[in-house]
């Protein structure tokens, strides 16, 4: 084994150990709540990776992506809660949720095939709102979604008798619910990353890239525009639905207000910040934008402890810092934290 390969392996090993130990370190170091925050960051990573297929790979600007997350979450909630008295197993509920989301992706995609850019953005934005308003109002005449109250007492994510929400501290000290979710979400995030990477380098990925670059030339080369656009919508939505189902089981509660336009915008920000089209960048963006607001919250506690009262509410600061961060990014790293290969080429100039 060559030296460079050995060092690559040791880097991977260190990374794996670091990822496995992370929740325990967080619990011991800065507090339990941080494990939950990292769990959410992983859920958002899956979401952002899904949206990245639509926006980053195929170049279709989707501003209603959160709707697929909502579909996945509500499917899980309806099939695994006292709402209808159903308690279906995980292996059925997650795929059904993902499939429903994928189907709604096709339903959104089909009428918008001819739209591009701003027009597509507005229609998808409308679609996102329609789903949310549906969920808000489907409590009459037949109560399906329980309206704005949402659905609570959702079963936790469970495999057989093993529930991810129950502590198993007797098995291993510190193995709490959030830590177990961490491992589940980590595994699924890695799976989604793997799929996303393979897709990018596949024939399908190349067709998407061609459509993104020049739709007419792509069509004239024989690429079936309709099929590949629908495939992008469906695949992105499927990942969104998967993340949504996990979210419902993780939170134990869903309501329409979790799926508003700001959430769609946030996920898009994660992609833009991280580096559109780059899988690692997108994950980094998702983690940054989930962790940052929580870190800011600590600023409020600090003010309370040291100054006696909160002078600047960190919640107000949040949007300001987001805005500044995005502007700074545009100036310093316009292609995102981690540039995609294509962008590297763009900035590399004429060097071969």
Partner 1 sequence: MKPILTLDKVSVHYGKLHAVQQVSFVIQPGERLCLIGANGAGKTSLLKAIAGLLPASGSMHTDSVAITRKPPHFVAAQGIALVPEGRGIFKQLSVLENLQLGAWLRKDTAAVQTDIDNILQQFPRLAERRHQRGGQLSGGEQQLLAIQRALLGKPRLLLLDEPSMGLAPVMVNAVFDSLEKACRQGVALLLVEQNARLALGFCQRGLVMESGRITLTGDSGSLLDNAQVQAAYLGL
C-alpha 67/C-alpha 65 separation (Å) is 5
| Contacting range for partner 1; rule: CB under 8 A; set: 22-30, 100-108, 161-169, 207-215 | 207-215
Comparing CB distances to partner 1, the nearer of 125 and 218 is 218
Q: Closest by alpha carbon to 68, among 271, 286, 259?
A: 259
Q: What are phi and psi of 87, to 5 degrees?
A: -140, 70
Q: Taking CB under 8 A as the rule, does residue 110 contact partner 1? A: no
Distance CA 154, CA 89 (A): 13
- Which lies closer to partner 1 via its Cβ, residue 140 or residue 350? 350
Closest CB to partner 1 among 36 and 343? Answer: 343
Show the site string, 286-325: x = touches partner 1 by CB under 8 A, - = not: ----------------------------------------
Per CB under 8 A, does 201 bind partner 1? no
Q: Of these, 218, 231, 273, 284, which contacts partner 1 (CB under 8 A)?
A: 218
* Shortest reach from residue 338's CB to partner 1, in Å: 16
Q: Exposed, middle or buried: residue 147 (CB in 10 Å: 0-12, 13-18, 19+)? A: middle
Contact call for residues 332 and 339 (beta carbons, < 8 A): no
**168 or 342: whose CB is closer to partner 1?**
342
User: Which of 272, 256, 276, 275 is CA-nearest to residue 322?
Assistant: 272
Among 96, 209, 265, 321, binds partner 1 (CB under 8 A): 209
Q: Least Å distance between CB 98 and partner 1?
A: 29
Measured between alpha carbons, how far is 116 from 130 in angstroms, rounded to an integer?
20
Among 16, 72, 19, residue whose Cα is nearest residue 43: 72
Sign, CA dihedral 28-33-35-37, equals negative
Which one among 158, 168, 206, 333 touches partner 1, defined by CB under 8 A? 206
User: Which CB, 149 or 221, lies closer to partner 1?
Assistant: 221
Among residues 217, 236, 216, 223, the alpha carbon closest in space to that of 56 is found at: 236
Render 161-193 in DSSP notation, one character per residue.
TEETTS--TTTSTT--HHHHHHHHHHHHHHHHH
**Closest separation in Å from C-beta 282 to partner 1:** 17
Position among 207, 234, 266, 289 found at the interface with partner 1 (CB under 8 A): 207
Query: Which CB sits closer to partner 1, 223 or 337?
Result: 223
Q: Does 221 bind partner 1 (CB under 8 A)?
A: yes
Residue 28: burial class (beta carbons within 10 Å; 0-12, 13-18, 19+): exposed
Stretch that binds partner 1, among 39-47, 306-314, 316-324, 341-349 (CB under 8 A): 341-349
- Is residue 68 within 8 Å of 237, Cβ to Cβ? yes
Among 214, 257, 301, 313, binds partner 1 (CB under 8 A): 214
Beta bridge partners of 151: 254
CB of 349 to partner 1, least distance (A): 8
The whole-angstrom separation of Cα 66 and Cα 241 is 9
H or E stretch covering 253: strand 253-254
- Which residues from 223-242 bind partner 1, rule CB under 8 A? 223-226
Contacts of 305 (CB under 8 A, 6+ apart): none
Cβ-based nearer residue to partner 1, 277 or 314: 277
- Out of 1, 216, 307, 332, point to the residue binding partner 1 (CB under 8 A): 216
Q: Does 219 bind partner 1 (CB under 8 A)?
A: yes
Number of residues that bind partner 1 (CB under 8 A): 25
| Closer residue to partner 1, CB minimum distance, 201 or 313 | 201
Give the interface with partner 1 as residue ranges (CB under 8 A): 206-207, 209-210, 212-214, 216-226, 342-343, 345-346, 348, 350, 352
């Amino acid at each position: 084994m060559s030296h460079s390969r050995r060092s690559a392996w040791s880097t991977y090993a260190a990374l794996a150990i670091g990822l496995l130990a992370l929740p325990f370190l967080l619990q011991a170091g800065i507090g339990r709540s941080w494990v939950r925050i990292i769990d959410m960051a992983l859920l958002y990573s899956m979401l952002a990776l899904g949206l990245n297929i639509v926006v980053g790979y195929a170049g279709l600007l989707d501003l209603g992506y959160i709707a697929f997350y909502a579909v996945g979450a509500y499917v899980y909630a309806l099939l695994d809660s006292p709402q209808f008295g159903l308690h279906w197993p995980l292996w059925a509920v997650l795929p059904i949720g993902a499939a429903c989301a994928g189907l709604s992706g096709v339903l959104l995609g089909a009428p918008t095939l001819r739209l591009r850019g701003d027009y597509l953005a507005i229609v998808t934005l409308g679609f996102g709102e329609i789903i949310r308003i549906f969920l808000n109002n489907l409590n009459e005449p037949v109560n399906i979604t329980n309206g704005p109250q949402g659905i609570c007492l959702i079963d936790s994510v469970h495999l057989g008798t093993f529930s991810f929400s129950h502590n198993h501290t007797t098995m291993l000290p510190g193995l709490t619910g959030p830590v177990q979710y961490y491992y589940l979400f980590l595994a699924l995030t890695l799976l989604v990353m793997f799929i996303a990477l393979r897709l990018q380098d596949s024939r399908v990925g190349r067709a998407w890239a061609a459509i993104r670059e020049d739709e007419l030339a792509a069509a004239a080369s024989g690429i079936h525009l309709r099929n590949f656009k629908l495939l992008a919508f469906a695949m992105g939505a499927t990942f969104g639905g998967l993340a949504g189902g996990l979210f419902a089981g993780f939170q134990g509660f869903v309501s329409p207000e979790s799926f508003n336009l700001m959430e769609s915008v946030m996920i898009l920000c994660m992609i833009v910040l991280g580096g559109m089209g780059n899988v690692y960048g997108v994950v980094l963006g998702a983690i940054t934008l989930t962790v940052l607001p929580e870190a800011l919250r600590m600023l409020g506690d600090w003010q309370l402890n040291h100054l006696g009262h909160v002078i600047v509410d960190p919640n107000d600061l949040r949007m300001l810092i987001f805005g500044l961060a995005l502007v700074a990014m545009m100036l310093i790293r316009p292609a995102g934290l981690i540039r995609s290969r294509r962008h590297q080429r763009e900035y590399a100039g004429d060097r071969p």
